[in-house]
Structure 1
Amino acid sequence: MIEVDGSYGEGGGQILRTAVALSVLMNEEVSVTGVRAKRPNPGLRPQHLTVIKVLKELSEAETKGLSVGSRSIFFSPKRVVGGRYVSDVGTAGSVTLILQAVLLASLKSSKPVSLTVKGGTDVKWSPSWDYFARVFVPLVKRLGVKVEVDLVRRGFYPAGGGEVKMTVFPGEKLSSFKIDEPQRYGLVEGVVAISKLPSHISTRVRHSVIRFFLSNSMEAKVSVERDDESLSEGVVVTLWSNSDETVVGGAMVGERGFPAEKLGERCAMTLFHEMQAGVSLDVNATDQLLPYLAFVASKNHESSVFLTRELSSHTRTNMWLLEKFLPVRFEVKDVGGCKRVEVKPA
């Protein structure tokens, strides 16, 4: 059994989600203690409980400690069972974080895994729907993961009520990711999604993004998507840019009292920094893709290598966690103002 200290690093929900997903993927029992120990409201919250229950059903696992507020859990998977699954967070808990956990857990499934999730599609501290669909999914597909995703309805904080669908298909051998040469990015694309707010807000966000990139002699094509079926009002901007080999992106969710112009400009500036650095993975994608690269390294005995601007606390925690489940190691070097990260079989 693998024992995980959930208070390690930032001590949040990421350790829990990733540990249980890896437990399913590697068919290893796991015990997680100190769940979300460094959060103001430690222990399992409804959104964390939701993802673990989905993974439990997916793998016919035996579990202990699955209740709101629990500080420790035990998870013993059997085998991944393909089929159709439905989950409702019941709040604006992030659906993209649930999808990422289920996708990782399903990599070795011999049958398709289809999941419909209701909750928050565009909420703070998680990938926006468009970042998930336009950046994360293309990156995992590049590795050979066969997955299709679909947005039914947006869900914003606090009511949620969004709905998304994902199907993971059995795939062939996954490939490594080897892009350690500086990338050149040009056209910026993006979406401003809005619900139950005046149209001038999305217009101002869009214009601020376009102005920012024009001032830096770059073109930006940004569309507006209105979905007033969402239960709560909200606005989110997601931007991305493709090189010949990869894609980088960024997203920001609007907040009451935060000017629309600032929202667009700040998101644009975040992406601009990634593009100017010539990285092959943006800071958030680095964290999110690491489990896949580690799995490829351990299974295929083949290294992956990439450039990123910096290693976030999430990324460092992920490295620590992945080394517990997989025979891998991470080599980090400073190269031209970036971090060159190599994921190697141990």
Structure 2
Amino acid sequence: MASYGLTYDGCNFFRQRLVLSTLSGKRVKIRNIRSKDDDPGLRDFEASFIRLLDKVTNGSTIEINQTGTVLFYRPGLLYGGCIEHDCSLQRSIGYYLEALLMLAPFMKTALKATLRGVTNDPTDPTVDLLKCTALPVMKKFGIDGEGLDLKVVKRGMAPGGGGEVVFTCPVRRTIKPVQLTEPGKIKRIRGVAYSVRVSPQMANRIVESARGVLNKFIPDIYIHTDHMKGANSGNVSFRRSPGFGLMLVAETLEGYFLGAEMTSTPQGQGDPVLPEDLGRDCAKRLLEEVHRGGCVDSSNQSLALLLMTLGQQDVSKLLLGPLSPYTMEFLRHIRDFFQLMFKMDVQKPLEEERKGGDKVLMTCVGVGYSNLNKTLK
């Protein structure tokens, strides 16, 4: 077996490692994947993720041992184009989209990905949240234009799925450095309350309870209700996949977006959730995200830090709220794959300002990443 660049143990942070390997061109070996479990090896959703990577790249070499506990990955060139992928129903489409958002700008041709599966579940970021928070982050780094879009064609709740989304993204040769240090005050809150295969009244009940919390803080609130029925409400053969949920986004005066969401538990799993409780809890979760502050919400910290890393060889600055454990591990992986370290300055709020918790000012000089896959015009 050829010698591999980086070696990791275990199944944690699986996507991070493969995404950064693809962007840096460094080979990676992941071993002891659930080797001590009763059912060792890769899960279906991880195998599906590997198949998706294989579709968007050209020339990648993927080797998995017989038990699925060791993976060798030698990345090829990011190709892009039009792809279709049936995602594993074990995880939602958001699990796969998060990785595609990181890879799409650096492909040879503009990506148009049609993904099918579960659009909304309690585990991963939903398609709605990624559309309202992740795409604006990408625009700040110069990845914009008409080609950047995320569209929900059909909704599909867990466990049955049957949802469909289309993600399109233009390619960029370089990423511009940014100075995102002033979040600004919240000016308005927008949201989507969705219901699938349940009474449309569920969405109205969610909106009412969420507004009951948020109206105390800001007057400019609009929550859209999205009731999908018939063929647009998921897999018809899975009558057992009803559900509802709420996604809220707070927009600041400086044009930053902080998001929060909650989805009902899939039928047959966990305790049932009342629409009123879900709306109220989601509103509180948004207020917590606002309290954490920063120019990027906690679910998109790693995307923003990656784009800073790949920027031109100039200083980029980004103010974040407290770093999530996932982001901390992502920073360690950036150090492994790109030999880049961030300077971190913790900023404590002033007593008289009461602007929430501690903030972290992240500073780095980009590696000057250039998209070698992009065709010259």
Q: TM-score, normalised by structure 2?
A: 0.82
Q: Secondary structure of 1:174's partner?
A: coil
| Residue in structure 2 matching 1:257, options 272, 275, 279 | 272
| Residue in structure 2 matching 1:130, options 120, 128, 145 | 128
Instruction: Give 5+ residue unaligned stretches, structure 2.
Output: 236-240, 266-270, 350-356, 368-377
Q: Which residue of 2 aligns with 1:77?
A: 75
Q: Aligned pair 1:270/2:285, yes or no? A: yes
Describe how 1:39-58 pairs up with structure 2 within 5 A.
43-58=41-56
In the TM superposition, residue 331 of structure 1 has moved relative to its aligned partner by: 2.6
Partners of 2:24 and 2:104 lie apart in 1 by 10
In the TM superposition, residue 110 of structure 1 has moved relative to its aligned partner by: 2.6
| Residue in structure 2 matching 1:246, options 251, 256, 267 | 256
Structure with max Cα Rg: 2
In the TM superposition, residue 222 of structure 1 has moved relative to its aligned partner by: 0.4
- Over the matched positions of the two proteins, sequence identity in percent amounts to 21
Q: Secondary structure of 1:107's partner?
A: helix
Describe how 1:56-205 pairs up with structure 2 within 5 A.
56-59=54-57, 60-65=59-64, 70-146=68-144, 147-205=148-206
Partners of 1:163 and 1:310 lie apart in 2 by 34
Of 278-287 and 158-167, more deviation after overlay is shown by 278-287
Q: Which residue of 1 aligns with 2:228?
A: 227
In the TM superposition, residue 206 of structure 1 has moved relative to its aligned partner by: 0.6
In the TM superposition, residue 25 of structure 1 has moved relative to its aligned partner by: 1.7
Change (3 A) 1:226 1:82: same
Partners of 2:187 and 2:153 lie apart in 1 by 31
Describe how 1:6-45 pairs up with structure 2 within 5 A.
6-7=9-10, 12=12, 15-35=13-33, 43-45=41-43
Partners of 2:40 and 2:282 lie apart in 1 by 30
In the TM superposition, residue 157 of structure 1 has moved relative to its aligned partner by: 0.6
TM-superposition CA deviations, 1:203-249 (whole Å, max 9, x none): 11111111111123443210110112223211121100222231111
| Residue in structure 1 matching 2:341, options 325, 329, 332 | 329
Partners of 1:152 and 1:112 lie apart in 2 by 20
Of 183-192 and 272-281, more deviation after overlay is shown by 272-281
Q: Which residue of 2 aligns with 1:206?
A: 207
Root-mean-square deviation (CA), in Å?
2.4
1:119–1:162 Cα contact (<8 Å) kept: yes
Change (3 A) 1:242 1:40: farther
Q: Secondary structure of 2:109's partner?
A: coil
In the TM superposition, residue 182 of structure 1 has moved relative to its aligned partner by: 4.5
Partners of 1:53 and 1:112 lie apart in 2 by 19
| Residue in structure 2 matching 1:289, options 294, 298, 304 | 304
In the TM superposition, residue 320 of structure 1 has moved relative to its aligned partner by: 1.0
Q: TM-score, normalised by structure 1?
A: 0.89
Q: Which residue of 2 aligns with 1:215?
A: 216
In the TM superposition, residue 324 of structure 1 has moved relative to its aligned partner by: 1.0
Change (3 A) 1:37 1:310: farther
Change (3 A) 1:129 1:57: closer
Partners of 2:316 and 2:65 lie apart in 1 by 36
Q: For residue 188 of structure 2, what is the amino acid of its counterpart?
A: L
In the TM superposition, residue 6 of structure 1 has moved relative to its aligned partner by: 4.3
Of 187-196 and 92-101, more deviation after overlay is shown by 92-101
TM-superposition CA deviations, 1:122-159 (whole Å, max 9, x none): 11221111111111111112212243222111121101
Change (3 A) 1:341 1:213: same
